[in-house]
């Protein structure tokens, strides 16, 4: 069973790392969560903390899988840290290994069945956000737990009949994966190892330690310093309370109205003059398109703006374009420079698909170096303020 637990833990960690860069385009938020789960529990034996036999393992039973269930309430404080109040109810069972007929008191080893009620306060850590510079509400993330608990041990069937003290101090350690199914529902798959300040989970007062048929099987083990452990592996659903803040609508600047031509008096007949150069009316106009966070694909309103630009260039083959692309200040500078290059390419590809020659466009990328407002590196801004910096501007020139 220990080997199986290690394999499960390894697969959980590996799967989480595969999705370590998977992120939503929504900003993190603080919310309450409640969850329920069910699974299997099994006894792992006792560990010695005595001086002569430190951290050595004891287990005189063949241990079976028992049913377990739990529920919790959790508050997210940051993108990384949360506090969780949890209850787990588990049943562990087992039967004595061959060759163990007696304890020192003369009682016979018997199959045991132990009920466990655990009340815990856990710290919960989002490991993907802990190790990443970008903090997001991820679709899949790996978490770890560490806390303190009280465990009420109820031996339903004893190997020995002495009384068991209730509510023993316990250290729970857990890990798992959370899958965001919707904005308000997650699938949680995890496992928890619990170290209990007791040596009676298997129903034997010695916690597996004793003299059998006159032979001391574990010399150097101190009975009072044996501590039991058990494992609870589970799956369940988590429900996120409240509504997630709505993503602000993209800001689109209305097209500038064209000035109405003023009526002019009828010109007097004059001799024909030599033809003069006439500057097209579209020269000097600026067309802007905006992008989503970490996106370079064109929105419908951006395509409508570029259709107007393409029409002007088709009607005025002598004009060219100066095109500049920008990003907001979040993220590394090198990444934002590449992102603005992709945004400029999206605009250029759209114009060439409309029949505009790429030789008529001078495209430049500026990354996050030229915000049009106060939202520089390290400045906390609203999503609407960041949106103004995620843009590509095109200026019509001759």
Closest CA to 147 of 176, 118, 123, 117: 123
Partnered with residue 84 across adjacent β-strands are 74, 122
97-109 pLDDT, tens digit each: 776 654 544 445 6
Q: How far is CA 108 from CA 100, 200, 214, in A?
A: 8, 16, 14
The CA-CA-CA angle for residues 132, 133, 137, to 5°, reads 70
Could you write out the three-class secondary structure of 141-164? EEEEEEEEEEEEEEEEECCCCCCC
* Residue 8 reports pLDDT greater than 60: no
Residues 6+ apart with CB under 8 A from 94: 43, 61, 62, 63, 64, 111, 112, 202
Tell me, yes or no, if the pTM score tops 0.75: no
- Percent of the chain scoring above 70 in pLDDT: 77
Kindly indicate the confidence band of residue 206, based on its pLDDT and cuts at 50, 70 and 90: very low
pLDDT at 11 over 70: no
Given pLDDT bands bounded at 50, 70 and 90, which one contains residue 214?
A: very low
Residue 47 confidence (pLDDT): 82
Task: Examine the pLDDT at 146 and tell me if it is beyond 90.
Answer: yes
The token pair at 6 is 């290690």
Q: Are 227 and 196 in contact (CB under 8 A)?
A: yes
Model confidence pLDDT, tens digit, residues 353-388? 999 999 999 999 999 999 999 999 889 999 999 999
Calculate what percentage of the chain has a pLDDT beyond 90: 43
Question: Distances from the Cα of 275 to the Cαs of 278, 340, 397, in angstroms?
Answer: 9, 43, 21
Q: Which helix (H) or strand (E) holds 227?
A: strand 226-240
Q: Which domains does the chain have, with CATH numbers?
A: 2-240 (2.40.160.20), 286-397 (3.30.1330.60)
d(CA 43, CA 66): 9
Give the Å distances, CA to CA, from 332 to 186, 248, 292, 294, 368: 30, 24, 17, 12, 9
Tell me what the mean pLDDT of segment 281-291 comes to: 89
Q: What is the pLDDT of residue 248?
A: 61
Q: Which of 107-116, 144-153, 201-210, 271-280 has the lowest mean pLDDT?
A: 201-210
Kindly tell me if the per-residue pLDDT of 398 is higher than 90.
no
Report the DSSP beta bridge partners of residue 61. Answer: 96
> Which residues in 291-374 belong to E strands, given as ranges?
320-325, 361-365
| Confidence band of 221 (pLDDT split at 50, 70, 90) | low
């Amino acid at each position: 069973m220990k080997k199986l637990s290690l394999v499960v833990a390894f697969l959980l960690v590996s799967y989480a790392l595969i999705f370590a860069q998977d992120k939503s385009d929504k900003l993190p938020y603080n919310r309450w969560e409640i969850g329920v789960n069910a699974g299997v529990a099994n006894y792992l034996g006792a560990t010695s903390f005595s001086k002569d036999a430190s951290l050595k393992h004891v287990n005189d039973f063949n241990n079976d899988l028992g049913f377990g269930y739990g529920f919790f309430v959790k508050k997210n404080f940051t993108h990384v840290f949360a506090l969780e109040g949890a209850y787990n109810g588990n049943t562990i069972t087992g039967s004595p290994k061959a060759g163990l007929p007696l304890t020192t008191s003369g009682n016979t080893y018997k199959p045991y069945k132990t009920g466990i009620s655990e009340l815990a306060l856990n710290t919960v850590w989002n490991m993907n956000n802990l190790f990443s510079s970008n903090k997001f509400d991820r679709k899949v993330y790996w978490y770890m737990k560490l806390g303190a608990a009280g465990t009420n041990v109820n031996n339903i069937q004893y190997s020995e009949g002495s009384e068991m003290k209730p509510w023993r101090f316990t250290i729970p350690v857990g890990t798992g994966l959370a899958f965001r199914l919707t904005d308000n529902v997650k699938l949680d798959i995890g496992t928890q190892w619990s170290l209990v300040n007791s040596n009676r989970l298997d129903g034997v007062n010695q916690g597996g330690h004793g003299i059998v048929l006159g032979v001391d099987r574990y010399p150097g083990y101190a009975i009072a310093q044996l501590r039991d452990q058990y494992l609870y592996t589970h799956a369940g659903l988590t429900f996120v309370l409240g509504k997630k803040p709505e993503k602000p609508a993209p800001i689109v600047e209305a097209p500038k109205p064209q000035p109405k031509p003023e009526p002019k008096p009828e010109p007097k007949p004059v001799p024909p003059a030599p033809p003069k150069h006439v500057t097209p009316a579209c020269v000097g106009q600026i067309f802007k398109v905006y992008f989503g966070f970490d996106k370079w694909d064109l929105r419908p309103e951006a395509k409508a703006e570029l259709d107007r630009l393409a029409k002007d260039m088709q009607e005025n083959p002598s004009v060219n374009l100066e095109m500049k692309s920008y990003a907001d200040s979040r993220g590394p500078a090198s990444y934002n420079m590449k992102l603005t290059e992709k945004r400029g390419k999206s605009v250029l590809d759209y114009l060439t698909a409309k029949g505009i020659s790429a030789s008529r466009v001078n495209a430049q990328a500026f990354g996050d170096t030229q915000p049009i407002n106060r939202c520089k590196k390290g400045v906390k801004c609203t999503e609407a303020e960041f949106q103004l910096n995620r843009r590509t501007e095109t200026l019509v020139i001759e």
